[in-house]
Amino acid sequence: MLTILGDRSNQVRCDGIARRSFLKAGAFAGIGSSFSLADLLRAEATAGVGSSHKAIINIHLDGGPAQMDLIDPKPDAPSNLRSPFASIPTNLPGVHLTELMPKVASIADKFVFLRSLVGSAARHDAFQCQSGFAERDLQSIGGRPAMGCIVNKLFGKPEDPIPAFVDILQGRGKVRNSARPGFLGPVNQPFRPDISKIFHRELEASMKGELKRLGAKGQGVQLGLSEGMTLGRLEDRASLLSNLDTVKKNLERCSDQIAAMDEFNQQAMNILTSGRLAEAMDLEKEDPKVLAKYTPNMRETELAQVTSEGPMAARKMLMARRLVEAGARVVSVSISDFDTHRNNNTRMEQLGPILDHALWALVTDLDERGMLDDVTIVAWGEFGRTPVFNKNGGRDHWPKLSMGVMAGGGMKVGQVIGASDRSAAEATERPVHFQDVFATLYHNLGIDPKSAQLIDPTGRPQYLVGEGEVIRELV
Which range (127-141, 162-176, 194-208, 234-248) has the least confidence? 234-248
Q: Is residue 250 part of a domain?
A: no
* Residue among 348, 413, 454 nearest 66 (CA): 348
Q: Is 158 domain-assigned?
A: yes
pLDDT 10s digits, 280-332: 999 999 999 999 999 998 876 666 688 989 999 999 999 999 999 999 999 99
Query: Percentages helix, strand, coil for the chain, rounded to the nearest 5?
Result: 35, 15, 50
Indicate whether 108 pLDDT > 90. Answer: yes
How far, in Å, CA of 86 to CA of 100, rounded? 8
- What gap in Å lies between CA 149 and CA 221, rounded to an integer? 14
**Using CA atoms, how far apart are residues 18 and 123, in angstroms rounded to an integer?**
41
142: left (phi over 0), alpha (psi -120 to 50) or beta: left
The structural domain count of the chain equals: 1
Residue 165 confidence (pLDDT) above 60: yes
In the prediction, which pLDDT does 443 show? 97
Q: Does a structural domain hold residue 241?
A: no
- Quick check: helix, strand or coil at residue 352? helix
- Establish if 42 belongs to a structural domain: yes
The pLDDT of residue 261 is 56
Q: pLDDT band at residue 198, thresholds of 50, 70 and 90?
A: very high
Q: How far is CA 313 from the centre of its chain?
A: 16
pLDDT band at 406; cut points 50, 70, 90? very high
User: What is the CATH number for 171?
Assistant: 3.40.720
What was the pLDDT predicted at 276? 86
Do 314 and 294 touch, CB atoms closer than 8 A? yes
pTM (predicted TM-score): 0.84
Print the domain residue range for 103: 11-224+275-474
Express as a percent the part of the chain with pLDDT over 90: 62
Compute the distance between CA of residue 373 and CA of residue 54 in angstroms, rounded to an integer.
8
Is residue 300 domain-resident?
yes
**47 SS3 class:** helix
pLDDT at 21 over 50: no
Q: CA 236, CA 440: separation in Å to the nearest integer?
A: 45
- Decide if 457 is inside a domain: yes
- Pick the residue with more confidence: 366 or 229? 366
Is residue 284 helix, strand or coil?
helix
Residue 22 lies in a domain: yes
Instruction: Specify if 449 maps to a domain.
Output: yes
